[in-house]
Structure formats: structure tokens, C-alpha cells
Amino acid sequence: MNKSTGKKTGKKGVSKKSKVKAYNIFITSLTILLMGGGIFWIVYNAYVSTKVDTSKKTEYQKSLPQLGDSISHNKICMASDIFLGDKQIEVLQNSKMYFACSEHCVHQLGIDSIRYAIDPVNHHQIDKATSIVTLHPDNTGAVIYFESKDSYSKYLKALNDTAKVK
């Protein structure tokens, strides 16, 4: 015991209260440092992944065919109705060739309703394997199917008229 202060002290003359206080400050500082580091790591990774996603999206959009161009069937996934650019998996159904991007989509093309689309001009149900395909104007990579060259031509005319108005 310290005779001048009346407090209990350890072997070296430091009070137990000051040891506990120093330990608490150390633990609090360490906790703040670790939590701050964790938050920084989360924010940094979110930033990097967003930057990568944005660059991939920009690269993908640059690879898209021109709006109104006819697209080869083997460059699209007919189950998800999206342009992929590379040759896809061939799926033979009812003596017609369809294309899919994955095993899941191959199975989806086994469903009759997936193999058909609605022509946006004349609203007829059409078989995707015998259709004319072009990019959707939303520039996301989605595709549109047309029943005939006539229907496709009407669509292109309407698309060009809309572009002239803008």
C-alpha cells in the first residue's frame, strides 16, 4: 500500500485501477482499429467490384451488334433471350435447332413455351428456331424475334422513325 495516497499498489508501485484503465484503453483502441479496418475492407471491395462490373458492362455493350442488325441464332441463348456473342450449346428439339448458354437453359428449351416468342409487330406466336432475331432497343443485350422479313422491316422502319424524332 502506498503510504502517501492510501491506494493498493502492485510490486512496482502502480495501482491496480490504473492497470485496469490502461487495459481498457488498449482493448477499446484495438476494437476500434479492427472495426475500422473491417469497414474499410468492406467498402473498398464493394468499390472495386462495382468498378469491375461497370467495366464489364461497358465492354459487353461495346460488343453488341448494331441496333437493327440481324443476329445469328447460334450467338444467342434462346432460353434467356439474350445476345452472348459466342457460339452456344446446340439443342435439337422436334427436328429444329435451338441454342442455349448453359445446362439449365438446355433443360429450359425442353419446355414448349420457352421455344416460342411473340412477334412485336404482328403479335403472332413464332418458333425461335425459324425466326429473325435482332437486338432489343434497350441496349441490355436482350433480343427480339420476328416472324418474317416483312415484320422485321416494319420494325426497322418504326425504329428509324423513332430515332429521327429524337
SS3 135: strand
Phi, psi at residue 44, to the nearest 5°? -60, -45
pLDDT digits (tens, 9 = 90+) for 2-40: 555 555 555 566 677 888 888 899 999 999 999 998 999
Given a cut of 80, whether residue 49 has pLDDT beyond it is no
Q: What angle do CA 59, 136, 134 make, to 5 degrees?
A: 95
* pLDDT value of residue 105: 94
* pLDDT value of residue 59: 74
SS3 84: coil
The C-alpha cell at 41 is: 475492407
SS3 10: coil
End-to-end CA distance of the chain: 89
* pLDDT value of residue 85: 84
For residues 71-94, average pLDDT = 92
* pLDDT value of residue 19: 82
Domain limits, the chain: 1-63, 70-165
Beta strands 96-100 and 116-118, pairing class: unpaired
* pLDDT value of residue 22: 86
Which helix (H) or strand (E) is 132 found in, with range?
strand 132-135
**In the chain, where does DSSP find H-type helix?**
16-63, 103-108, 149-165
pLDDT digits (tens, 9 = 90+) for 87-112: 999 999 999 999 999 999 999 999 98
* pLDDT value of residue 100: 96
Higher-scoring residue by pLDDT: 127, 55: 127
Q: Which DSSP state fits 65? A: P
For residues 153-160, average pLDDT = 85
